[in-house]
A and B are shown apart, each in its own frame.
Chain A
Amino acid sequence: MLDSILGTLGISLSGSGGLLWGSLVIIVGALVGEAVFRWVGLPRIVGYALAGMGVGLAGYGMAAGGLSPSLRVIVDLALGLLLFELGSRVYLRWLRTNPFLLVTSLAESLLTFVAVYLVMRWAGLDGPAAVALAVLAVPTSAAVISRVASEFGAAGQVTERVSMMTALNTLYAVFASKLLLAWLDLDTGQNPVQAIVQPLYVVAGSVLVAGLLGYAVARVARGLDLRNENSTLLLLGLITLALAVTQVLNLSTLLVPLMAGLWLRNTTERPWVWPRHFGTAGGVLVLLLFVIVSTSWSIAALAAGAGLAILAMAVRLAAKAGAVLTLGWFSGQSIRQGLGLSLALTPMSATALVLFADLQVSHAPFAAQIAPIALSAVALMELLGALAVLAALRGAREITPQRGA
């Protein structure tokens, strides 16, 4: 009825819906974020997540229709920026001077995969579904780490190690998910050659685009001071262009920015310094990312999958903690740092959501099968992940007194 009244005046809510609701979400998100930071001392992203949770629980969230393409673009871009920044802070030669880091990384990812797979099978899921959920559980979300660390000025061994291990387990997870897609294709009787070529194409193509992006950024940095606003605009444009190309060529929007950052960091010795999140534009995108990911909260999904999701996440934490704590001593880590690192590895949501969305696009019915558990896990970890990272960094005493206050 409201619609018809407004219709006579020429006002259509559904038409202008996007901008209206979008702006409201931004405002509410920012306000809640500030309130949470000022009064409870938690990272602002918890506030953004609460705003998204509200939207999701009210029924307008992801469970209603999955991750729509327009929202997917925002998620890709925001996560892309964060992955690029993360990659640019990962010095691969450190894996050579401290070999146990690589061992720990492989151990935690493998253990997580195996543990979640076994638990899901025990809970009654069939092979492919268990494998898919296990793959989604492997990565750590670069978004939360990056955001909490920069908001609270974190510095120290836990911050360094979690960045390294996040970059690595994101790489493993993307490879694994491409293999999973190939396997599902073979299962459904697809052309075997295509099923095998597809993941190879994605990886090789992503590496190529990433290399080009990294090279382009390096060229820009030669001539321009990256700390000034105009240059960061250029950088932002380059990354967006790369992501657009990635989408057109059907490559991995996670691999490209991460590998571009890695390429940049590891092919030159000269330090890279640019404003965090590329300045204000990036900051807004990050806010939107957290809100969107949190709209995965839905009563229906929770009802169907919350129990198993909680179980899977608990097992995931145990697996990661187990690997980190037993192997940590060999890589020069203290126990306190080991505990901190285990907690800091728990966020999962943004990366897992993108992998899930890829699954939805190519194998919709299969994705619908695991949707309740996957979305519940994503929703839970979005909220808990930020808190865990903050607890980890505070516990390991890696937060600057001024900004952490």
Chain B
Amino acid sequence: MSLETFSTSEPLTLGVELELAIVNRHDYDLSPSSADLLRLMAKRKIPGDVKPEMTDSMIELSTGICRNHADALGQLTEIRDALVDCARRLNVGLSGGGTHPFQDWSERRIFNTPRFHMLSELYGYLSKQFTIFGQHVHVGCPGPDEALVLLHGLSRFIPHFIAMSASSPYVQGTDTGFHSARLNSVFAFPLSGRAPFCTTWDDFGVFFEKMTRTGVVQSMKDFYWDIRPKPEFGTIEVRVLDTPLTIEKAAALAAYIQCVSRWLTVEKPFELAEDDYLVYTFNRFQACRFGPEGTFVDPKTGEHRSLREDILATLARLESHAIELKAEAALDYLRLELERHGNDATWARQVHAREHLLPELVRQQCQRWSGELQID
């Protein structure tokens, strides 16, 4: 199958996809209710879409095209409210978080579609372990070459996105020590990692041609890269974020990505080079493991600093772009979050330290997701 042509899309528009966990209201373990939820949602009118995911305790919501932070938050709120209402009718809860703290992956069931069954056949237990929940952010690009340039530019900020969205410290009932343990499941897949360093669509086409010729890849969907071009939408897709615990954070992170994209496109502050990727996996690991306290190695200068420092410095550089994109509220929110808990993973650990009961943590996560629980 050859590489599709890159559609046109309005630059710097956003699309947000969120994968959610469906839990029962008794012990807050995962509940296989996605088919029921989809059936009830089919009768609702929402600005985006809801879709099933790999296993039947997961559900994915996606917004339509969003112009800015307020638009994204508005659409997410509408979809969230509809989902929470349907979930209440079924006596199930919806929770964010990159992983479910104590689900047993062996009990999961694959959602009944041909593609998911094929993936389950291919990837064995990895597909059930893939009961993880992520946020994907699409950024509109004027053309394929610009898309690839933006992709490589954004790669420097992957640790930022990971550290700020991290919400998966617990896996199978135990504290993993990571802020984002979810990404460890993603990295297990053979086609994970990052896109090859091509800056033109033609070069990328050559690479794609080679991969399909070897039969390793059938389509773009088979790549599980951190940032991936999506030709049919005309966007690039940042896939590395954990699903945050609130839609406010999800919208704020999307706006952050939008601001960074604008900065990169307009000012071109960094010159792209393959060597930038030398520190990529180290920085990414540090972000997954330590969150904002992780070490960030500057790809250009080799200087070590804390990720928190680099994020705050970036937030400062983004001021003017935030004003243009009407995203000041988003950046203020992220700055405040960084000061208070750092990220949702730290908040989760604090709750567990108080309550000593992981089902109670999931219950509070459901409350934060539905907006019933506001923390200060």
Smallest beta-carbon distance B275→chain A, Å: 48
Partner of B40, one of A156, A225, A270, A332: A332
Count of CB-CB pairs between chains A and B under 8 Å = 64
Given A98-B89, A402-B106, CB of A157 within 8 Å of CB of B36: yes
Most B-side CB within 10 Å, residue of A98, A160, A269, A398: A160
Contact B109 A400 (CB under 8 A): yes
Contact B91 A155 (CB under 8 A): no
Residue of A nearest to B26 (CB): A89
Contact A334 B27 (CB under 8 A): no
Residue of B nearest to A271 (CB): B359
Contact A94 B91 (CB under 8 A): yes
Cβ of A153 under 8 Å from chain B: yes
Contact B88 A270 (CB under 8 A): no
A94 to B91: give the CA distance in the assembly, Å.
6
- Residues from chain B with Cβ under 8 Å of A400 in the complex: 107, 109
8 A Cβ contacts from B322-356 to A: 355-356
Cβ of B368 under 8 Å from chain A: no
Cβ of A16 under 8 Å from chain B: no
A33 to B24: give the CA distance in the assembly, Å.
30
Most A-side CB within 10 Å, residue of B40, B107, B356: B107
Smallest beta-carbon distance A269→chain B, Å: 7
Smallest beta-carbon distance A95→chain B, Å: 10
Q: A-facing mask of B27-44, CB < 8 A → 1, else 0?
A: 111011100100110000
Partner of B89, one of A97, A153, A337: A97
- Residues from chain B with Cβ under 8 Å of A94 in the complex: 25, 88, 91
Cβ of A401 under 8 Å from chain B: yes
Smallest beta-carbon distance B292→chain A, Å: 30
Q: B-facing mask of A191-208, CB < 8 A → 1, else 0?
A: 000000000000000000
Smallest beta-carbon distance B43→chain A, Å: 10
8 A Cβ contacts from A195-235 to B: 225
A398 to B40: give the CA distance in the assembly, Å.
18
Smallest beta-carbon distance A278→chain B, Å: 15
Partner of B24, one of A155, A269, A272: A155
Cβ of A240 under 8 Å from chain B: no
- Residues from chain A with Cβ under 8 Å of B31 in the complex: 155-156
Contact B91 A273 (CB under 8 A): no
A155 to B109: give the CA distance in the assembly, Å.
11
Most B-side CB within 10 Å, residue of A98, A225, A271, A273: A271
Given A89-B26, A334-B36, A334-B39, CB of A160 within 8 Å of CB of B91: yes
Cβ of A360 under 8 Å from chain B: no
8 A Cβ contacts from B35-89 to A: 36, 39-40, 86, 88-89
8 A Cβ contacts from A88-131 to B: 88-89, 91, 94, 97-98
Most B-side CB within 10 Å, residue of A156, A270, A272, A398: A156
Most A-side CB within 10 Å, residue of B33, B40, B109: B109
Contact A273 B89 (CB under 8 A): no
Partner of B32, one of A89, A156, A271, A332: A156
- Residues from chain B with Cβ under 8 Å of A153 in the complex: 107
Residue of A nearest to B356 (CB): A225
Contact B33 A401 (CB under 8 A): no
Cβ of B191 under 8 Å from chain A: no
Cβ of B203 under 8 Å from chain A: no
Given A156-B33, A157-B90, CB of A270 within 8 Å of CB of B24: no
- Residues from chain A with Cβ under 8 Å of B363 in the complex: 269-271
Task: Give the interface size bracket for A toward B.
Answer: 20 to 34
- Residues from chain B with Cβ under 8 Å of A401 in the complex: 109
Residue of A nearest to B107 (CB): A400
Contact B40 A91 (CB under 8 A): no
Cβ of B232 under 8 Å from chain A: no
Cβ of B175 under 8 Å from chain A: no
Residue of A nearest to B35 (CB): A334
Partner of A402, one of B29, B36, B91, B107: B107
8 A Cβ contacts from B111-132 to A: none
Contact B357 A332 (CB under 8 A): no
- Residues from chain A with Cβ under 8 Å of B25 in the complex: 91, 94
- Residues from chain A with Cβ under 8 Å of B4 in the complex: none
Contact A160 B24 (CB under 8 A): yes
Smallest beta-carbon distance B264→chain A, Å: 45
A271 to B36: give the CA distance in the assembly, Å.
23
- Residues from chain B with Cβ under 8 Å of A334 in the complex: 36, 39
Partner of B28, one of A91, A155, A225, A271: A271
Residue of B nearest to A274 (CB): B27
- Residues from chain A with Cβ under 8 Å of B90 in the complex: 98, 157, 160, 332
- Residues from chain A with Cβ under 8 Å of B89 in the complex: 97-98, 331-332
Partner of B357, one of A91, A157, A271, A398: A271
- Residues from chain B with Cβ under 8 Å of A402 in the complex: 106-107
Cβ of B309 under 8 Å from chain A: no
Given A155-B31, A332-B36, CB of A270 within 8 Å of CB of B109: no
Residue of A nearest to B43 (CB): A332
Smallest beta-carbon distance B368→chain A, Å: 14
8 A Cβ contacts from A39-90 to B: 88-89
A94 to B26: give the CA distance in the assembly, Å.
12
Cβ of B222 under 8 Å from chain A: no
Residue of B nearest to A270 (CB): B360
Most A-side CB within 10 Å, residue of B32, B86, B88: B32
Smallest beta-carbon distance A277→chain B, Å: 15
Contact A273 B36 (CB under 8 A): no
A147 to B357: give the CA distance in the assembly, Å.
26
Smallest beta-carbon distance B149→chain A, Å: 46
Smallest beta-carbon distance B94→chain A, Å: 14
Q: B-facing mask of A24-41, CB < 8 A → 1, else 0?
A: 000000000000000000
- A sample of 7 more A-B contacts (CB under 8 A), given A94-B88, A157-B36, A271-B26, is A91-B25, A155-B29, A271-B363, A273-B27, A273-B359, A332-B86, A398-B32
In order of increasing CB-CB distance, the 6 nearest A-B pairs are: A271-B359, A97-B88, A94-B91, A98-B89, A89-B26, A332-B89
| A-B contacts, 29 listed (Cβ < 8 Å) | A89-B26, A91-B25, A91-B91, A94-B25, A94-B91, A98-B89, A98-B91, A153-B107, A155-B24, A155-B29, A155-B32, A156-B33, A157-B33, A157-B90, A160-B91, A225-B356, A270-B360, A271-B357, A271-B360, A271-B363, A332-B36, A332-B39, A332-B89, A334-B36, A334-B39, A337-B36, A400-B109, A402-B106, A402-B107
A interface with B by C-beta (< 8 Å) = 88-89, 91, 94, 97-98, 153, 155-157, 160, 225, 269-273, 331-332, 334, 337, 398, 400-402
